């Protein structure tokens, strides 16, 4: 990857577009001017943007109250909007002497190891050539069942992909608050978060505007992914003066900073934990959960009590305990049918052609 420290900046639909769905040229000009400052400081920058659907709808006469629900129409709108969005980024970057390169990613680009490495290689080549990659989800061909859901999670996965030192999530509030500032006058800005706990997640509100699919809850989810990647995260207001530069310089009060974990997940483990979409669930007893969590053991058939869904060998699955709590994610070595036929069996009772482990410990991640 680039020899220079890498900063990933995510900007959302509510900041990229105006209330009528047009590209917010002033916001892009501000962002790109700060990108240029980071480049002058010796940093490489990757931008993750939303806004293609919001930008495309008015061009099709479908903006405002007429916004459609049909998924095919929304995908078509993203194809139209992506052109004007990238044209605006190209112009804003050129005005500060920079060149942009478009990257469209889908969840399968993180789920398939070969495509994961190809995506990484392309971004690396762009950075080494001095280009600013501008990344968006490939909404035009996305499958509703396997999509990122918001570009905050995409940005966190990109930060891991490129070994970024910092992820800056730009939003329409000053950071993370103790309560939703839109509804509570007592809400106070949290300047630093060491651990994302249940109380903090409960305080997060929903999406802030009709153009946004994210909101603070998705920022926290992204911060959790990135911090487990060893990436520091800052959530801050997109309209704040010098926000990105200040976030990278550690200026106090710029937003909410999430500390990176010292013990970071290796690439493959993080990919299993956060990038793959589970195809089903394997229910295990208390003894199996304890062996997995406390002793880092593989899952054997004897510890399986049930299976939910249909999946093949090598598919991702959730591991669920008897109380219904998802505590791990893994790549399974047996199909759902094979597991049903052999669950509860001792290893000596298994057919000789079966691998001894339902899930090997190398393919399993206990979720934070």
What tokens does 145 get?
């069942």
Q: Regarding predicted confidence, which is higher, 358 or 109? A: 358
**What is the pLDDT, as a whole number, of residue 115?**
87
**Percent share of the chain, pLDDT over 90:** 55
Q: Closest Cα partner for 39 from 100, 85, 88, 122? A: 100
**Residue 117 or 2, more confident:** 117
Note whether 259 and 312 are same-domain residues: no
Q: What is the pLDDT of residues 80-122, one digit of tens each?
A: 999 999 999 999 999 999 999 999 998 778 777 788 889 999 9
In a domain? residue 311: yes
Mean pLDDT for all residues in the chain: 87
Q: Can you give the CATH number for the domain in which 357 is found?
A: 2.30.130.10
Residue whose C-alpha is closest to residue 169's, from 5, 12, 4, 6: 12
Question: Closest Cα partner for 46 from 159, 171, 147?
Answer: 159
Rounded Cα–Cα distance for residues 14 and 264 (Å): 32
How much is the average pLDDT of 2-19?
Answer: 89
Residue 315, in any domain of the structure: yes
Q: How far is CA 32 from CA 43, 91, 112, 122, 219, in A?
A: 14, 10, 32, 21, 22
Question: What's the whole-number mean pLDDT along residues 208-223?
Answer: 62
Residue 323 lies in a domain: yes
Find out whether 89 and 78 touch, Cβ atoms under 8 Å: no
Average pLDDT over residues 127-152: 78
Domain count across the chain:
2
pLDDT, tens digit, for every residue of 240-259?
999 999 999 999 889 999 99
Tens digits of residue pLDDT in 176-208: 888 777 777 888 888 988 877 777 766 665 434
Q: Are residues 120 and 264 in the same domain?
A: yes
Supply the pLDDT for residue 256: 93
In a domain, 143, yes or no: yes
Considering the domain architecture, whether residues 238 and 334 belong to the same structural domain is answered as no
Point out the domain boundary residue: 219, 245, 269: 269
Residue 283 sits in the same domain as residue 175: no
- What per-residue confidence (pLDDT) applies to 215? 66
Judgement on whether residues 257 and 314 belong to the same structural domain of the protein: no
Q: Are residues 261 and 305 in the same domain?
A: no
- Checking if the pLDDT of 71 tops 90, the result is no
Residue 289 has pLDDT above 50, yes or no: yes
Cβ neighbours of residue 352 under 8 Å, at least 6 residues apart? Answer: none
Rounded mean pLDDT of 208-215? Answer: 43
Domain of 102: which CATH number?
A: 3.40.1160.10
Residue 41 lies in a domain: yes
| Structural domain range at position 65 | 6-269
Are 95 and 240 members of one domain?
A: yes
pLDDT computed for residue 2 by the predictor: 65
Residue 178 shares a structural domain with residue 320: no
Are 286 and 263 members of one domain? no
Residue 59 lies in a domain: yes
Q: Which of residues 54 and 141 earns the better pLDDT score?
A: 54
On whether both 227 and 362 belong to a single domain, the answer is no
Report pLDDT for 305: 96
Asked which of 116-120, 169-173, 224-228, 239-243 is least confident by mean pLDDT, the reply is 224-228
Q: How confident is the model at residue 149 (pLDDT cuts 50, 70, 90)?
A: low
Choice among 147-151, 226-230, 251-255 with the minimum mean pLDDT: 147-151
Closest CA to 295 of 197, 364, 227, 229: 364
Percent over 70 (pLDDT), the chain: 90
Q: What is the 3-state secondary structure (H, E, C) of the chain?
A: CCCCCEEEEEECHHHHECCCCCECHHHHHHHHHHHHHHHHCCCEEEEEECCHHHHHHHHCCCCHHHCCCCHHHHHHHHHHHHHHHHHHHHHHHHCCCCCEEEEEECCHHHHCHHHHHHHHHHHHHHHHCCCEEEEEECHHHCECCECCCCHHHHHHHHHHHCCCCEEEEEECCCCCECCCCCCCCCCCECCEECCCCHHHHHHCCCCCCCCCCCCHHHHHHHHHHHHHCCCEEEEEECCCCCHHHHHHCCCCCCCEEECCCCCCCCHHHHHHHHHCCCCCEEEECHHHHHHHHHHCCCECHHHEEEEECCCCCCCEEEEECCCCCEEEEEECCCCHHHHHHHCCCCHHHCCCCCCCCCECHHHEEECC
pLDDT at 204: 61
Task: Round to whole Å and give the CA distance between 280 and 282.
Answer: 7
Q: How far apart are CA 274 and CA 290, in angstroms?
A: 22
Q: Which domain-ending residue is among 242, 269, 296?
A: 269
Question: Would you say residue 1 lies in a domain?
Answer: no
> Is 153 part of any domain?
yes
> Residue 345's pLDDT band (boundaries 50, 70, 90)?
very high
Of 269, 301, 325, at which residue does a domain stop? 269
* Mean pLDDT of all residues in 12-41: 93
- Please indicate, yes or no, whether residues 159 and 223 belong to a single structural domain of this protein: yes
Q: Write down the pLDDT at residue 214.
A: 46
Q: Give residue 5's pLDDT.
A: 94
In this structure, the answer to whether residues 297 and 245 fall within a common structural domain is no
Q: Which phi-psi region, left, alpha or beta, contains residue 175 (left: φ > 0; alpha: ψ -120 to 50)?
A: left
């Amino acid at each position: 990857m680039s020899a220079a420290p890498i900063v990933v900046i995510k900007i959302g639909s509510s900041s990229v577009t105006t209330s009528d769905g047009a590209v917010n040229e002033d916001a892009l000009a501000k962002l790109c001017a700060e990108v240029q400052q980071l480049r002058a400081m010796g940093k490489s920058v990757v931008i993750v943007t939303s806004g293609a659907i919001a930008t495309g709808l008015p061009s099709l006469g479908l903006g405002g109250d007429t916004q459609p629900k049909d998924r095919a129409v929304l995908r078509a709108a993203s194809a139209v909007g992506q052109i004007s969005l990238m044209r605006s980024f190209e112009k804003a970057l050129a005005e500060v002497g920079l060149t942009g390169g478009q990257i469209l990613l889908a969840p399968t680009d993180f789920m398939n190891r070969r495509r994961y490495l190809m995506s990484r290689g392309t971004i690396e080549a762009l950075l080494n050539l001095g280009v600013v990659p501008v990344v968006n989800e490939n909404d035009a061909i996305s499958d509703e069942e396997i999509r990122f859901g918001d570009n905050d999670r995409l940005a966190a996965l990109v930060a891991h992909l490129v070994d970024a030192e910092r992820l800056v999530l730009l939003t329409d509030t000053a950071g993370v608050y103790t309560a939703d500032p839109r509804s509570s006058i007592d809400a106070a800005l949290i300047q630093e978060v060491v651990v994302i706990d249940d109380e903090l997640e409960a305080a997060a509100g929903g999406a802030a505007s009709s153009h946004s699919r994210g909101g603070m809850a998705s920022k926290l989810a992204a911060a959790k992914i990135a911090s487990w990647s060893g990436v520091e995260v800052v959530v801050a207001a997109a309209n704040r003066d010098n926000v990105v530069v200040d976030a990278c310089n550690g200026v106090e009060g710029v937003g909410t900073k999430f500390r990176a974990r010292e013990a970071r997940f290796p690439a493959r483990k993080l990919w299993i934990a956060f990038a793959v979409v589970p195809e089903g669930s394997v229910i295990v007893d208390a003894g199996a959960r304890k062996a997995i969590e406390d002793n880092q053991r593989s899952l054997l058939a004897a510890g399986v009590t049930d299976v939910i869904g249909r999946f093949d060998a090598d598919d991702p699955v959730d591991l669920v305990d008897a109380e219904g709590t998802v505590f791990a994610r893994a790549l399974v070595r047996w199909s759902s049918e094979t597991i049903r036929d052999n669950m509860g069996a001792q290893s000596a009772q298994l057919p000789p052609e079966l691998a001894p482990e339902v899930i090997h410990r190398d393919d399993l991640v206990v979720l934070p």
